[in-house]
Amino acid sequence: MYNDKIQDKDFRFEITGEAVTEGYLTINETTGDVFVLKSVDREKYDCFHVIFNVYDTDTNQKIDKELAFDVEVKDINDNPPRFIDFPQTFTVSESQVEGFLGVEVIAQDIDEKNTKNSTFNITVVQQTPLEPNIQAKWIDERTVHLNFTGCFDYEKAKDYKITLEAKDHGTPPLSSTAVISLNVRDTNTHMPEFKKKEFQTEVDEMKLFRDVFRFQVEDKDTPNTDGWRAKFFFISGNEEGIFKVETDPKTNEGIFSIVKEKNYEITTTVQLEIGVENIEPFTKCVNGKLIKQDGKLYRPDSINVTVTMIDDNDPPVFKPPKADVFEKEESEPGRVLFTPKVYDPDSTSFRFELVDDPANWVSVDEKTGELKGTKKMDRESPFVDADNVYKIIIAAIDDGKPPAKSFCNVSIHLRDINDHKPQLVNNSLILCGNKNNKVMIPVQDLDAEPYSGPFSFYFDNEEDEMHWILDPAYGQQGGLLRMTMLPYGKYLVPLVIEDQQNKIGRETVEVVVCDCEEKNTSGRQALAAL
């Protein structure tokens, strides 16, 4: 260092900064010569900020302004590129399609950026075994993906060793390596095959059977994997879904079952074709190319199954199985109410019988099935439901061995007629003379609308009109109102009650006029007092 303000003065040079503190640089205080004391690692200190000063030794004051500058450390190629992120072990599926292998590798060189010393290549320098061919494909300046061309064959090679080299462009070039272990996972490269190609069996129609018989298959793939597990399917013959094939998860066998009933008019032979494949799609490495199941080179194995459906004695069939008959109550017996239509695919001879006739109102002809009334039917009978329906069951029985039987439910809807007179619900009423002047007269009629209420009320004896008034005289119940003060006692009042269709009922109501105490003496006590 040199300074033009130091003539005729005693002075000293001084240097400061991290380079001095860390022992890399020093200065001769008298001459200003700067010395390097030890080698510098650019990757630790790529630049030093250095400050120079000159001092008057007598006053210890700065002679000149401070001088500062940066000392850059020149890079040399002393660091190889190194792998910082890569899988040491990796598993690939045997059915992997060529292209990206699923492995990403990252390396870096800590020499100066954007120089030959830090620029590097990553390549596959060794691979065991050699097929398929694995390469490194650049993604950015420090990342590559492992790609491959061809296909894997688990039976030929189950594991690979791949050696990668990262090599820079410095002089001389430096490099490092990384080794990746790649394992191949077995997939479905063998089609399952049936051990037996023909199956025959006999079963009864209209019955469900599980596990009628089983299909055994052979598969050379790894057991208990999706490439080994069998999946059965119908190729033809099961369009109605009568049959089903399931896989036994333990034995890998096909379980053949009948899951849907079907009525066959005659003994019938059903021809089925059943195929088998695996849960995992089939692939195979052939001459370095991955082949998929295409229905030409690799078709699923299949078998033929013959099922003889034995025709049982089917029961006669009522058409329809339920019948509705409409009849007016109290009609004269002897009329044909209903004649069933019956079809039997197995027989032309069958008979009829009456199964349920709770009121004994009908009969059935054993040969024709004609249903006739034997008694008048009463809609108000307890055997008739709330919807005015009387229910009967008849059966048809064929001559098979054993005989087969079916049933028909006949509902007779009874239309009401006006066959009941209006009548009092209670013929004895109490009138508390000391409290009320009126009693209500409830009426019932077993007929239905329009043969019942509301009712019209009349006196059947004109003399009663001198003591009583009907109020109301029309409605579901009438009212009896006294006109005068009557002595306590019993009074008989004959009434005429008329329904909507003018059917008349004649009833006599007994009215007890009495003194009712505050404790509300009951009707029986009042009658007893009289």
Which pLDDT band holds residue 297 (cuts at 50, 70, 90)? low
- 430 and 524 co-located in one domain: yes
Reply yes or no on whether the pLDDT at 298 is more than 80.
Answer: no
Q: How far apart are CA 486 and CA 470, in angstroms?
A: 16
Higher-pLDDT residue of 202, 500: 202
**Residue 200 confidence (pLDDT) above 80:** yes
**What is the arithmetic mean of pLDDT over 95-122?**
93
User: 522 and 448, same structural domain?
Assistant: yes
Average pLDDT of the segment spanning 296-319: 83
Report pLDDT digits (tens) over 38-89.
988 888 888 999 999 999 888 888 888 888 989 888 888 888 999 999 999 9
Residue 2 belongs to some domain of the structure: no
The CA distance from 110 to 103, in Å, is 24
More confident residue, 10 or 164: 164
Task: Report residue 118: phi and psi, to 5°.
Answer: -110, -5
Residue recorded with tokens 């049982």 = 312
- Are β-strands 477-482 and 474-475 bridged in parallel, bridged antiparallel, or unpaired? unpaired
Whether residues 102 and 40 share a domain: the answer is no
Confidence of residue 296 (pLDDT cuts 50, 70, 90): low
- What integer pLDDT is reported at residue 520 of this predicted model? 46
Residue pLDDT, tens place only, 342-367:
887 767 788 999 999 999 999 999 99
Contacts for 24 with CB less than 8 Å, ≥ 6 apart = 36, 37, 38, 40, 45, 48
Using CA atoms, how far apart are residues 355 and 352, in angstroms rounded to an integer? Answer: 9
Secondary structure (3-state) at 525: helix
The answer as to whether 510 is a domain residue is: yes
Residue 127: CA atoms inside 13 Å, Cβ hemisphere, count?
Answer: 15
pLDDT tens-digit profile of 277-295? 999 889 888 888 888 876 5
Q: C-alpha 265: how far from its chain's center?
A: 38
CATH of the domain at 357: 2.60.40.60
The verdict on 199 and 299 lying in the same domain is yes
User: 399 and 363, same structural domain?
Assistant: yes
Distance CA 79, CA 112 (A): 10
Cβ neighbours of 378 (radius 10 Å): 18
pLDDT value, residue 238: 93
The tokens of 184 are what? Answer: 């191949």
In a domain, 475, yes or no: yes
Within-domain flag for 481: yes
Strands 120-128 and 198-204: what pairing? unpaired
> Which tokens hold the place of 93?
């599926």
**Number of domains comprising the chain:** 5
55 part of a folded domain: yes
Lateral strand order in the sheet of 322-328 = 322-328, 405-415, 389-398, 350-356
Same domain, 323 and 363: yes
DSSP element (H, E) containing 528: helix 523-529
Residue type, 50: V
> What phi and psi, each to the nearest 5 degrees, are found at residue 462?
-60, -30
Q: Are 354 and 392 in contact (CB under 8 A)?
A: yes
Q: List CB contacts of 460: < 8 A, sequence separation 6 or more.
A: 494, 495, 496, 506, 508
Domain-located, residue 39: yes
- Reply yes or no on whether the pLDDT at 467 is more than 90: no
pLDDT band at 148 (very low <50, low <70, confident <90, very high): very high
Report the chain's mean pLDDT, rounded to a whole number.
87
Are 274 and 304 found together in one domain? yes
Q: Are 375 and 349 in contact (CB under 8 A)?
A: no
**Euclidean distance between CA atoms 243 and 234, whole angstroms:** 9
Token pair of 352 as six digits: 């009829």
DSSP letters, 370-403, are -EEE-S---TTSTTS-TTSEEEEEEEEEES-SS-
> Which of 146, 74, 159, 56 has its CA nearest to residue 104?
146
Percentage of the chain beyond pLDDT 70 is 95
DSSP secondary-structure letter at 355? E
Q: List the structure tokens of 221.
A: 């793939």
Residues 293-300 have a mean pLDDT of 71
pLDDT > 80? residue 145:
yes
How confident is the model at residue 295, as a pLDDT? 56
Peptide bond into 472 cis (omega under 30): yes
Identify the pLDDT of residue 151. Answer: 94
Domain end call among 310, 337, 365: 310
Average pLDDT over residues 476-503: 86
The tokens for 494 are 């004959």
pLDDT at site 86:
94
Cβ-Cβ contacts under 8 Å for 295 (sequence gap 6 or more)? none
In tens, the pLDDT along 216-271 reads: 999 999 899 999 999 999 999 999 999 999 999 999 999 999 999 887 766 788 99
- Could you give the CA distance from residue 412 to residue 337 in angstroms, rounded to a whole number? 9
* Bridge partners, 301 (sequence order): 276
Q: Are residues 126 and 203 in the same domain?
A: no
Report whether pLDDT(313) > 80: no
- Cα–Cα distance measured from residue 160 to residue 158, given in angstroms and rounded to the nearest whole number: 7
Least reliable range by pLDDT among 31-35, 267-271, 401-405: 401-405
How high is the pLDDT of residue 126? 96
> Higher pLDDT residue, 412 or 529?
412
| Helix, strand, coil tally for the chain in percent (to 5) | 5, 50, 50
Q: Which of 375, 387, 382 is nearest to 330 (CA)?
A: 375
Of the three residues 257, 277, 310, the one that is the final residue of a domain is 310
Last residue of a domain, one of 140, 164, 185: 185
Work out the average pLDDT over 23-32: 91
Find, among 364, 318, 357, 322, the residue nearest to 341 by Cα. 318
Answer whether residue 6 is part of any domain.
no
What is the residue whose two structure tokens read 């209006």? 422
Any idea which of 44-48, 198-202, 352-356, 445-449 has the lowest mean pLDDT? 445-449
Q: State which residues form the domain around 292.
A: 193-310
Q: What pLDDT does 166 receive?
A: 95
Same domain as 209, residue 300: yes
Helix (H) or strand (E) holding 202: strand 198-204
Distance of alpha carbon 353 from alpha carbon 479, whole angstroms = 54
Measured distance CA(130)–CA(288) in Å, rounded = 12
How far apart, in whole angstroms, are the C-alpha atoms of residue 70 and residue 51? 9
Tell whether 101 and 174 lie within a shared domain: yes
460 and 500 in a common domain: yes
Cβ atoms of 396 and 367 closer than 8 Å: no
pTM of the model: 0.50
pLDDT value at 527 more than 60: no
Both 441 and 499 in a single domain? yes
Dihedral pair phi/psi, residue 20, rounded to 5°: -75, -45
In a domain, 353, yes or no: yes
Pairing between β-strand 175-185 and β-strand 89-93 as defined by DSSP bridges: parallel
Q: Which residues contact 178 (CB under 8 A, 6 or more apart)?
A: 83, 86, 105, 163, 164, 166
* Closest C-alpha among 403, 430, 418, 427 to residue 495: 427
Residues 121 and 254: their CA atoms lie apart, in Å, by: 56
Q: Does residue 526 surpass a pLDDT of 60? A: no
